[in-house]
Amino acid sequence: SGEEIPLVIDGEEITTNLWGVGRDPSRHNEVSYKFAYADFEQVEHALDTADRARSSWASKSIGERAEILHRAAQELSRIRGEAIAAMVRDAGKAPTEADVEVSEAIDFCRYYAEGLDRDGMNDGVEMSPLGIICVMSPWNFPFAIPTGGVAAALMAGNAVVFKPSELAVYTAWQIAQAFWRAGVPKNVLQFVPMPRNEISRKFLMDRRLNGVIMTGSYRTGKMLRELRPDLHVLAETSGKDAMIITATADPDQAVKDLVKSAFGHSGQKCSAASVAIVEASVYDNPAFLRQLKDAAASLKVGSSWEVNSVVTPLIREPEGNLLRALTQLEPGEEWLLKPEPSEDNPCLWSPGIRLGVKPGSWFHQTECFGPVLGIIRAENLEEAIDIQNDSEFGLTGGLQSLDEREIALWKTKVQVGNAYINRVITGAIVRRQPFGGGNHSSMGPGAKAGGPNYLTMLGSWEEKALPQKLRTPGERISGLVEKLCSELPDCAKRIRSAAGSQAKWWMEEFGVEHDPSHIYGENNTFRYIPVKGILARVENMSDDDVAILLLGAKLCGVLLHLSVGEERPWIRKMNGYYASLTVETETELIGRMPEAIQGVRFLRGTDVSEALANAARACDAEVLDRPVFSNGRLELLGYFREQSVSETVHRYGNLIPPPGSFKTDSV
């Protein structure tokens, strides 16, 4: 169209000699606009500007920043039509898929605007912004996800450099303008597309940059970690997600939900159902396979500019793993529905369904990111759960079953961040289903996007006073409290305050399940799953810090591995209280790291060396880079992974009574 999108740095619209082009996937990649790339000079200018501007933005009150975010929500609502058209143009999204993104973006702004006023967030602690945050947006959710990142970073008081995906710059441009019109200064939120070369590398390596919020592949997140081990990385990364269908499922509902989960936005979602694990009696039923094939084959495949299209073009012509998934079968596999490319557009493919996929096979384990679904046969639910959990990822997963015993078993064993029962496994809603996974599906301390703890990761916290909101410790830790106070009488006041705060937040937050939305016909449970263990290098921690760690571990049922350079006899006496102590040098700890942490995600000392932190990250452990707090609302976050469980509890509009509601008199 000849349209040119500039950089915006320090309030000035800038063009350079470096240009990128935006293409429309529905129109055979025709060039629809041009956009300016930053060069080395502009990157330096943007960082200088953000460094100067961040203090003035951070000085605004929580209420002032919240008001601007609410205005941003209004702006996003006002441009809904333009935003939908931008996503159709940039990402090849069907209008229905684009529409829900606008709603999600609005929800992010409104939800994060209230995120720092939550109970407990100001009880003896104070947060300072990290400083400068880069928001790296994805192309597959080009509106909602970057809006959420920008809103969260701004609400926490940070300056933001918005680095959009080069495949969706026009959509990102709409977002940036909406925030500016809402009152965010243009030196606080800068719009800086960069080429993926040494220019981006220089930017990410700069020590003035304090954090990155990104959505992309695990490989990209790992690259960031290797480039800047000290960088705060909050990343939603890859997924290889599965839906289990048992013999007790409603087959009509299961097929409907599976097809929507697998082929919405042509499967270009990290949450998409790439695999279905089907119980043997269902898999062996020709009627089920025929119904599944017909449902997928009936989807309208076409341009995203055709409003009835369901399967729209891929962002680019398939290559690599996706091309292999669409064109090559593994031994023992066959096509239930063979995918076919469009004669007119090499980006457009019809849905494909592979039968006979083996557990542990290439397709089972590989993220492909396109409109192809693999079906695995399982003898029973237990085997299906084992297959579902056998993945390096842990983002979303589903179960189709009407048996309350199967549902209860699956809830206990499934290892995903977002678990869905008798519904689609995509389409998470802010607050209702906070989004994020484990294993290689995320990087960072673990708080979910659109959840109650996300903003806590975007600042540095400091303890200013002992907490005042307390409860009497219960049986889980009362004995340990007295033992610690007896061993450390000079620390007793802080130990008792921390124990009271931990007891309060265990009873009100971490030890109970929540459903903040209370939607009729759907249960949305937010819960905390204890990590397997915590490693803490306590060489430079005070005794009361170590005592607080012991209290948290005992309360949460998490094994605490304490590592120290010199013996502390009082700690030895705590063996049996979910704690073990090893006296060792830091070098010795690094040497035994894989065995010691066993996939744990928390390592903290007040003086963690870079070598120790890097060794932990190399073993996929997260370094929780903050002090030990008496405030249990913050301190206990390090002992858990968050999980959302969403369950449809109606049948065709009729609410299902909870288990045990039907009672009969004995005869």
Cite the active site residues: 236, 270
Phi/psi for 23 (5° steps) reads -120, 150
Q: Name beta bridge partners: 213.
A: 135, 234
Which residue pairs, CB below 8 angstroms and at least 24 apart, start in 563-569?
A: 563/535, 563/536, 563/537, 563/538, 563/539, 563/589, 563/596, 564/537, 564/538, 564/539, 565/539, 566/539, 568/543
Q: What SS3 class is residue 556?
A: helix
Q: What is the 3-state secondary structure (H, E, C) of 247-302?
A: CCCCHHHHHHHHHHHHHHHHHCCCCCEEEEEEEHHHHCCHHHHHHHHHHHHCCCEC
One-letter amino acid of 433: Q
Angle, CA of 568, 539 and 443, to the nearest 5° = 130
Residue among 110, 116, 78, 83 nearest 99 (CA): 83
Question: How far apart, in whole angstroms, are the C-alpha atoms of residue 544 and residue 61?
Answer: 33
Contact yes or no for 31/93 (Cβ under 8 A): no
Report the number of secondary-structure helices (H) and strands (E) in the chain: 23, 29
* Cα dist from 398 to 401, 420, 439, whole Å: 10, 5, 17
DSSP H or E stretch at residue 190 = strand 189-191
Residue among 392, 163, 465, 425 nearest 277 (CA): 425
Task: Note the maximum CA span of the chain.
Answer: 87
Question: How far apart, in whole angstroms, are the C-alpha atoms of residue 259 and residue 411?
Answer: 23
One-letter amino acid of 115: G
Contact yes or no for 5/32 (Cβ under 8 A): no
Helix orientation angle between 404-413 and 381-389, rounded to the nearest 10 degrees: 30
Question: How far apart, in whole angstroms, are the C-alpha atoms of residue 200 and residue 192?
Answer: 10
The total of other beta-carbon atoms located within 10 Å of residue 456's CB is: 21
Concatenate the DSSP letters of all residues of 632-648 into one string: HHHHGGGGEEEEEEEEE
DSSP H or E stretch at residue 582 = strand 579-583
Tokens read off for 221: 């997140």
Residue among 52, 380, 14, 45 nearest 199 (CA): 45
Question: How far apart, in whole angstroms, are the C-alpha atoms of residue 344 and residue 352?
Answer: 19
Q: What SS3 class is residue 612?
A: helix
One-letter amino acid of 523: N
Residues in contact with 308: Cβ distance below 8 Å, sequence separation at least 6, in sequence order: 300, 302
